[in-house]
A and B are shown apart, each in its own frame.
Chain A
Amino acid sequence: MFDKYIIDPASVQNIGPANAPTGFSFTTKLGYYRGLGLSMVEDLKVSIDDEALPREAVLFDEGQGPLTLDEMEETFDRRWAFGAPATIAVALEGGFPKGEHKLTLQQRLRISYMPFPSFNNDEKVISL
């Protein structure tokens, strides 16, 4: 319902030393019409040019401190509020590749009243 808005393309930046970035980060909103407990975010799949980055490389932070995606699924006392930006940081040697590249995010949510998982997808062409 909010797919096209879930990646903020202006927020993409490298992290780590400027001459040797260790990864990149960007902000994202939850593509859902209400907030959700973090334990129900099953996956945040980040891809560059359709190549998925390893799940273990992804960290999520809604403002209360970074979590691995495995930790996120076991976090029962934190919520990702409606319309609130959170940060995704991805470990990637050299940072986000130079030149134009497609950044894709797929959020997989466990919504209790739905019989199947809910997927939100966005892709943005990024040039750092």
Chain B
Amino acid sequence: MSKIKRGISLYSFQEEMFLGRMSVEDVVAFGAQLGAKGIEILPEQNMPTFPNITDQQIGEWRDMLARHGAHFTCYDMFLDTKRRKDRLMSDEEQVESIHRDLALCNRLGIKNMRILIFVRPDILERCVPLAEKLDVHMGVEVHAPWYLDHAWILRTIEVADRLKTKHLGILPDMGIFMKHYPPAFRARFERQGARPEVTQFIVDQHEQKVMCEYTIYEVAVKMQGNKAEVAMAETLRHAPYANPRRIGDFAPYFRHIQAKFYEMNEDYTDPALAYDEVIPELVKAGWEGTLSSEYEGNRWIQDVHEVDSREQVRRQHVMFERLIAKAEAELA
């Protein structure tokens, strides 16, 4: 049995759930069919009465998961620091809000909590005692354009090390490993009026890992790019290719992965994100946790295509099975 488990985030099916075409249970049943039995939940998306959740509701969730042989893996929290128009939440209010989430996470029997990346490390430090008591790992989401070695992320690592706690760390979002520019992004900008020669230039610049500001200036000023072209160039600010070889160094700090993707090819390869480099590093590190599918392609294609999140997620799981098996065989 592999140490790397496969799962899905309910986020992946936002298109179908938003339109009322799939229920949460439909998603869980579909995941179970794929052998992806670990379920990541966004209570603020999937629990309409949030934050008021009764014990009866929790029982219904547990029964539903049990019907499909599934289990929870991760709780995605939010923090509404701008809840009020006139002022930010005070530090005390922020801690209180995170405590509320830790308590609900614990009532649901979940051991991992995804912390939004903008939450301050000193606020999280104040939440460590409760996280330890409830045995919930708070993982700060390492989301593009941040990356594993980013100074903001290192601040959380520093707090975790100083406190010698196993309940604070990170939670990588695989969007940080964007080796190639996503074809779905490019196609959308072309439909919005970007000229193919300009989109090709942007793709080439990304492929060569030219620092984004050079490309943005070229497109906006020198090429007098139109709105769609400039917008496409600006996406490069959020398109980093972090070094997969650093994964081993950070592996002790994470227990769950948001397996972001935008589109899968028919041959079960990801055209943009370097899973073929990331998964061998996870295997080599002996990492134990869940690769949780996070499909985010709907917004790039819904203007012209019917979104089929099931097919996209299915393809990603075929890729995971193949890459994990290959990496394990090579290591053995």
Contacts and interface: CB of A to CB of B under 8 A. Distances in A.
B82 A81 contact: no
Contact of B44 (A4, A34, A113): A34
B299 A82 contact: no
Contacts of A79: 50
Interface in A1-60: 1-2, 4-5, 29, 33-37, 39-40, 42
A122 interface: no
B118 A81 contact: no
Interface stretch (B13-21, B29-37, B59-67): B13-21
Nearest to A85: B20
A73 B86 CA distance: 10
B250 interface: no
Contacts of B316: none
Interface stretch (B73-81, B149-157, B252-260, B269-277): B73-81
Interface string B123-161: 000000000000000000000000000000000000000
Given A1-B299, A37-B80, A82 B18 contact: yes
B83 interface: yes
B46 A82 contact: yes
A112 interface: yes
* Chain A interface helix/strand/loop/mixed: loop
B50 A35 contact: yes
B42 A34 contact: yes
A84 interface: yes
B104 to A, nearest CB: 14
B83 A33 contact: no
Contacts of B19: 5, 83
Contacts of B303: 4
B17 A82 contact: yes
Contacts of B105: none
A42 B303 CA distance: 26
Interface of B: 11, 14, 17-20, 42, 44-46, 48, 50, 78-85, 116-118, 298-299, 302-303
Interface of A: 1-2, 4-5, 29, 33-37, 39-40, 42, 73, 76, 79, 81-84, 110-113
Counting from the closest, the 10 A-B pairs by CB-CB distance are A34-B44, A81-B48, A34-B45, A1-B299, A112-B82, A112-B81, A83-B18, A82-B45, A113-B118, A110-B82
